[in-house]
Structure 1
């Protein structure tokens, strides 16, 4: 019987045995664990039949605990068989400080090499996952705790440079106690060196994915592990800058259960998703396919070389004529029902069963993967986002989510009122979209930004302002649909777009009717009068030019048939994205800025709704 959680420690003193013909191989202690008739889970203490344990990828079938893997085992599980081509850094670990503690560092290095058969704490390769090309680096905790020394830093940097050269997504599988103390400040410099290499991939638009495994701490967590576009983590894995013992010794308090675990990190906005080991290949394949879309298209290349202009040669008139064409040819975008007054529109926009962002994502997009967190400590539930496929092409999707008819869920979602973390999460996802050349679809449905004390302390105003500035210069197509309430700056923070549509029963305003009535009429009961005066309904907004088109809803409202509402929304968005995809980035930005520049200018004369199709 073998204790599955003690495998890495036991392996440090073991010899080598070959696996699958690779030059690098797993230790005999690991092989023994795989071949043992029975293994015991350290978390639940249940015995697991060895062959079954191997079939379930070293995950306890009783409690789900994920046993640690060696770097070799990790690649064997993740990579398509026969596709691996090793990347050799050509740098052997050395002893720049001639460091000695209780033993010379050179002796420790020699033992780690002998025990693992590895040159240092990571291996790298070109390969494929689910048929998609990838450059991958996998760390191994058995080698001096997976510590980041000069050789590991050089290997990761070389892998990033190879990823840059070939425009191939980079996957980093982390397992580390932190920077290697025995190499002193030179080890510290590897944090900056690897961060710089990932920065170059950002500039080039190359996808970086981090897979965090247990444990990932210190200088690795504070550099490449958390600088990726997408951060995935295995269930129960731990990540942090300082380890639990250091924190407890420093603050003199016992840490709460689950601190720094995957579940804690997800709740606090530090990772995008927790992915069980059995789902890793498919999930990584999905995101690598998105990364495979980053090669510049032919039109962008031609524009960059100066060989062409806008296809129609009339760039200044494109935005207006496109909106007219949509209105003229798409009955789905006809003006709203004439018998729906402003207050009726407000009540329908607020209907608790009205579909919100995740409802539309499930119906409009194929294979939607939600991403989480602002990377600053929170994951606002009122704003959701992620990557999905529309007509088999990836898009970045961001929207307010109110939570549906269940009151408890609506409260948990803050009724769609975003905190600063929500706006910062949206900004993070939109910056990722810009890097990966993904169109952005935003859905607006919020009474406004969260008015709480914590939101104000967290910089609510600045978070909204940053989004307005960011969206005005995004170099990718942006389409917004106001699907319910469009309340004040909390709505606009997701709505600086190339095309702004509104659902038939949607509303969009500088303030809620109740707020306006309380301030100007001194009577909240005057809200219906204020709603009419503010002209917040779809037809009025179309007439003022605030929106480009109106998306129809099923009879009675979107809540009466969510599936049909989603079809109507999808059919409104699809032609706009198809048109905008062919527009060069600099022209997109110029026209988007011109659109918002015109509002309120003396030369701006918006047409009435009934004139929009002329």
Structure 2
């Protein structure tokens, strides 16, 4: 059996100790809306072979103690293709999720739209897209699991359109299937392009799903607590001292703060536009029984994909009612030619807007360098704290000297004049306090 190609019910049994299938009598379809010769016989043969009456199995499941509606594709039934009756089942499943106010888990394995039903099958993508939109508007999460294969309209709706996208290792995932454009595109390539959040070994799927369902259904009911500082215990004497401390290679970075702050956490990855920035960590974490979302800079120049991924995280957290923690640590936004071509200005604007529009509280801790707008885009306007080994400035002292046409020897003095030390930031009302 190829990776992820177990029958729908076997997979459901493996993931969910309790499952109640939705009642959905399927009307006889004959040779279908196009009168395709032999289609009715092929439907009967597929039903006999798989024990299913359509290409999806839908129902209410308990996964890790969380109730969810499951949409599981049966690849043995016409290659998991989308027909008119498939669309009806998926529509009913999402409607049930909204009635119950529970998440949706899509276990996707499909070759695309069903040829024997022509354009009417293709129109099911619009039908599914509307259900995705209504479910998002209702503030309910949707987790997709990409199995082998996930192609065509199934990838372009239930797969790529989910809030969290988990890809089973080894799966073929792409809009064009292997019969259209061999060789097929892989889930690993989609992950590298920022279109999949996590690569999951099939044997770990149940554990990962259980964790994700806990995270998206248990938001903290108060702002994220401010993490304690992990670095220096004393304050810098001068502005230049603050800069050197923030740039020290042995200073605690974002990964150390996240490990200390959360009991456990799960990352999301990618900007959904073809990019990944390894210098930005985003995801949801479990802390004291509740969920807090995080977007953390890792001390490098933040690239457009990093800003877009963080903005995606903030918007998703806001829709799910999950408070957000941001960790600021960057010398500034990347400004090389590649960054400009990738729209760094628009990406920064996107992050500024996401934070400004958030209805959930955003808490910010400056843990290192706070370089200009690239750092400020991650910062809450009224809820920022700073550590003792950090600084925040309109621009680095070196670049300030160059812009002001000062002698390079005046860098240290300029750092003092910029008033970028932690106590300065509190006195100026930029930060609430030092941790």
Which residue matches 1:227?
161
SS of aligned partner of 2:385: strand
**Cα distance in structure 1, aligned partners of 2:394 and 2:331:** 10
1:168 aligned onto 2:105: no
Which residue matches 1:438?
322
Deviation at 1:441, TM superposition (A): 0.2
TM-score (norm 1): 0.67
Which residue matches 2:6?
69
Which residues of 2 match residues 409-420 of structure 1 at below 5 A?
A: 416-420=300-304
**Cα distance in structure 2, aligned partners of 1:75 and 1:337:** 55
Task: List gaps (5 residues or longer) in structure 2.
Answer: none
SS of aligned partner of 2:12: helix
Which residue matches 1:211?
145
CA offsets 1:213-238 (integer angstroms, 9 cap, x no match): 00000011111111111111111112
1:275 aligned onto 2:197: no
Does structure 2 conserve the Cα–Cα contact (< 8 Å) formed by 1:382 and 1:401? Answer: yes
Deviation at 1:67, TM superposition (A): 5.2
Which residue matches 1:120?
54
Which residue matches 1:20?
none
Which residue matches 1:98?
34
SS of aligned partner of 2:384: strand
Does structure 1 conserve the Cα–Cα contact (< 8 Å) formed by 2:351 and 2:378? Answer: yes
CA offsets 1:88-146 (integer angstroms, 9 cap, x no match): 3333463443343xx53222222211211211111011110122111101101111111
Task: List gaps (5 residues or longer) in structure 1.
Answer: 6-65, 249-254, 300-318, 320-325, 403-415, 552-614
Q: Size of the alignment, in residue pairs?
A: 431
Does structure 2 conserve the Cα–Cα contact (< 8 Å) formed by 1:400 and 1:445? Answer: yes
Which residue matches 2:286?
389
1:196 aligned onto 2:133: no
User: For the aligned residues, what is the CA RMSD?
Assistant: 2.4
Does structure 2 conserve the Cα–Cα contact (< 8 Å) formed by 1:92 and 1:120? Answer: no
- Given the superposition, is the C-alpha separation of residues 344 and 276 from structure 1 closer, same or farther in structure 2, using an over 3 Å criterion? same
SS of aligned partner of 1:378: coil
Which residue matches 2:19?
84
**Cα distance in structure 1, aligned partners of 2:255 and 2:127:** 39
1:352 aligned onto 2:286: no
**Cα distance in structure 2, aligned partners of 1:179 and 1:419:** 37
**Cα distance in structure 2, aligned partners of 1:491 and 1:135:** 40
TM-score (norm 2): 0.94
1:361 aligned onto 2:258: yes
Deviation at 1:357, TM superposition (A): 1.4
1:239 aligned onto 2:239: no
Indicate the structure with greater strand content.
Answer: 2
CA offsets 1:513-565 (integer angstroms, 9 cap, x no match): 111011113444432122111111111111110111111xxxxxxxxxxxxxx
Which residue matches 1:480?
364
Which residue matches 2:86?
152
1:453 aligned onto 2:337: yes
Does structure 1 conserve the Cα–Cα contact (< 8 Å) formed by 2:212 and 2:266? Answer: no
SS of aligned partner of 2:273: coil
Does structure 2 conserve the Cα–Cα contact (< 8 Å) formed by 1:383 and 1:398? Answer: yes
**Cα distance in structure 1, aligned partners of 2:279 and 2:93:** 38
Given the alignment, which residue of 105, 108, 117 partners 1:183? 117
- Given the superposition, is the C-alpha separation of residues 482 and 170 from structure 1 closer, same or farther in structure 2, using an over 3 Å criterion? same
- Given the superposition, is the C-alpha separation of residues 524 and 265 from structure 1 closer, same or farther in structure 2, using an over 3 Å criterion? farther
- Given the superposition, is the C-alpha separation of residues 92 and 421 from structure 1 closer, same or farther in structure 2, using an over 3 Å criterion? farther
Deviation at 1:244, TM superposition (A): 4.0
Which residue matches 2:350?
466
Deviation at 1:461, TM superposition (A): 0.3
- Given the superposition, is the C-alpha separation of residues 418 and 89 from structure 1 closer, same or farther in structure 2, using an over 3 Å criterion? farther
Structure with higher Rg: it is 1
CA offsets 1:147-189 (integer angstroms, 9 cap, x no match): 0111111111111110000011110000001111221222122
Does structure 2 conserve the Cα–Cα contact (< 8 Å) formed by 1:515 and 1:524? Answer: no
**Cα distance in structure 2, aligned partners of 1:495 and 1:67:** 41
**Cα distance in structure 2, aligned partners of 1:447 and 1:458:** 19
Deviation at 1:360, TM superposition (A): 1.0
1:429 aligned onto 2:310: no
Does structure 2 conserve the Cα–Cα contact (< 8 Å) formed by 1:293 and 1:436? Answer: no
CA offsets 1:284-341 (integer angstroms, 9 cap, x no match): 11111123326x97x9xxxxxxxxxxxxxxxxxxx9xxxxxx9xxx998xx9956621
Q: Tell me which moved more, 189-198 or 435-444.
A: 189-198
